[in-house]
Structure 1
């Protein structure tokens, strides 16, 4: 395989046959240049993007990731695959990598959030929750940051989603309509078009899918983390205004009030997709 672009010391874009793939391994690009060869036995992981947009997203995430973040991601995936007895796809590698990167940034600001799905995950997916707890331990070891156990829920959701069984068609359609309505509210409020190939957009949609399922089942999370909520309102005032519009929509359609934790989560996701849509932080 010939190097087409060196992304950093650990990541390179290479030509394999007639397609471009991304290879990752510690020090794989060190002292190499474009045109040099890389052998498969030097490679820890190969990512095969299925489009140019995906290639750009993969390249950005992998090239900007710290080595500790990469190591944590690979170790968590290895541990999870052994316990769920299933190989994960490339996309899960990247969503998990992105999640850990963002978790580190939140930790540096002491922004720790209790997932609205914490109770459900612990009760109905104890095996996946155990993977999440192991993941938190690995993250702390590799990054030197102490993460709360609540982060285990968010990690577990990545693997639950991988194995999720099909839901009732009517419920699925209703949930999709809810997600589409909320995306429309965000798009109109910010007068923007989403980059549907971006990681931020996909992360927002994933959150909204779970959110819509809970709304449709009447399962609104009611914990009230007021302090963080106030902080996020002040930091991201436009996201807060937008969330108030979503609040009106939910009350009108479902007669459901938005809890402070749900509100906080939505503000953070909306801020990221609207601010980082054009330029990743």
Structure 2
């Protein structure tokens, strides 16, 4: 079966070793490092969990594992596996650090009687329904495993971690993205004095575009000025949608100091026209 050679002990339940390629790994198991020291050998069969992260993340993960009980890392692994399967998308490995740290910190808060309300829970649930559903299931898994009465607010907090693991945008910025999505939808709602049919394909396409549009703004990678002629045509065909786009552009300029290029205005106008079509 082979053995792991201990390079560094993190706690009684975890140590650092290397794999066949010389990459550092974190090996976990109940009492696996108890009364052990660097250089000792541990049979592979003793390991309950083995984590291999990139060099960029491995030191942060090791630091986290060293200060938390093993069951948090094991539970996080199960939650991440569930999330990956339900979302059907690859998740950045940084999720092993962020979601584990969040769960541990949140449980400590609950045990100390400190429950934080998520003021953007409704927006997160509406704009990221898949990730929110994963957050709800994760909260249920935590309640069952740790007997902590996690509220739905925690599902919203965790949902953004899963969004972050797909987009690479920091959690703090994800709140800004969500606020921006809400502001854009509100401008369209007020301009046309209408409610969205959230079950329609047009709304789904509109919301998807707005989410990626907001993410581009946050990352500073939004489209430029390459579609003047086509924009003129779209502007002529959808004058009200274009006027709404100009409201959005003015809002972004005043709140973020960013200028929308013609291509961004073009696509935004087309999606607004579709979602507001009678």
Match of 2:130 in 1: 127
Alignment RMSD (CA, Å): 2.9
> What's the CA shift for 1:14?
0.9
Is 1:21 the counterpart of 2:25? The answer is: yes
1:40–1:90 Cα change, 3 Å: farther
| Partners of 2:9 and 2:37 within 8 A in 1 | yes
Match of 2:98 in 1: 95
> What's the CA shift for 1:81?
2.0
Unaligned runs of 5+ in 2: 185-253, 257-278
1:218–1:73 Cα change, 3 Å: closer
Give the Cα–Cα distance (whole angstroms) in 1 for the partners of residues 107 and 121 of structure 2: 20
> What's the CA shift for 1:38?
4.0
Equivalent of 1:35, from 18, 21, 39? Answer: 39
Count of matched residue positions in the alignment of Structure 1 and Structure 2: 183
> What's the CA shift for 1:132?
0.8
1:27–1:133 Cα change, 3 Å: same
Equivalent of 2:13, from 1, 10, 18? Answer: 10
Is 1:210 the counterpart of 2:213? The answer is: no
Instruction: Return the TM-score normalized by structure 2.
Output: 0.56
| Partners of 1:15 and 1:21 within 8 A in 2 | yes
| Partners of 2:49 and 2:74 within 8 A in 1 | no
Instruction: Return the TM-score normalized by structure 1.
Output: 0.56
Q: What SS is found at the alignment partner of 1:6?
A: strand
Equivalent of 2:160, from 142, 157, 160? Answer: 157
- Structure possessing the higher radius of gyration over alpha carbons: 2
Give the Cα–Cα distance (whole angstroms) in 2 for the partners of residues 4 and 72 of structure 1: 25
Is 1:67 the counterpart of 2:70? The answer is: yes
| Partners of 1:6 and 1:13 within 8 A in 2 | yes
> What's the CA shift for 1:3?
0.8
1:22–1:89 Cα change, 3 Å: farther
Equivalent of 2:53, from 33, 48, 56? Answer: 48
> What's the CA shift for 1:26?
3.6
- Deviation digits for residues 229-278 of structure 1 (CA, Å, limit 9, x no counterpart): xxxxxxxxxxxxxxxxxxxxxxxx639xxxxxxxxxxxxxxxxxxxxxxx
> What's the CA shift for 1:154?
0.8
Match of 1:247 in 2: none
Q: What SS is found at the alignment partner of 2:78?
A: helix
- Deviation digits for residues 109-154 of structure 1 (CA, Å, limit 9, x no counterpart): 3222222331122223222212111111111222222111211011
Give the Cα–Cα distance (whole angstroms) in 2 for the partners of residues 153 and 23 of structure 1: 31
- Deviation digits for residues 52-72 of structure 1 (CA, Å, limit 9, x no counterpart): xx4432222111112332232
Give the Cα–Cα distance (whole angstroms) in 2 for the partners of residues 47 and 112 of structure 1: 33
Q: What SS is found at the alignment partner of 1:150?
A: helix
Equivalent of 1:80, from 76, 79, 83? Answer: 83
- Deviation digits for residues 189-247 of structure 1 (CA, Å, limit 9, x no counterpart): xxxxxxxxxxxxxxxx8243124335555749xxxxxxxxxxxxxxxxxxxxxxxxxxx
| Partners of 1:14 and 1:21 within 8 A in 2 | yes
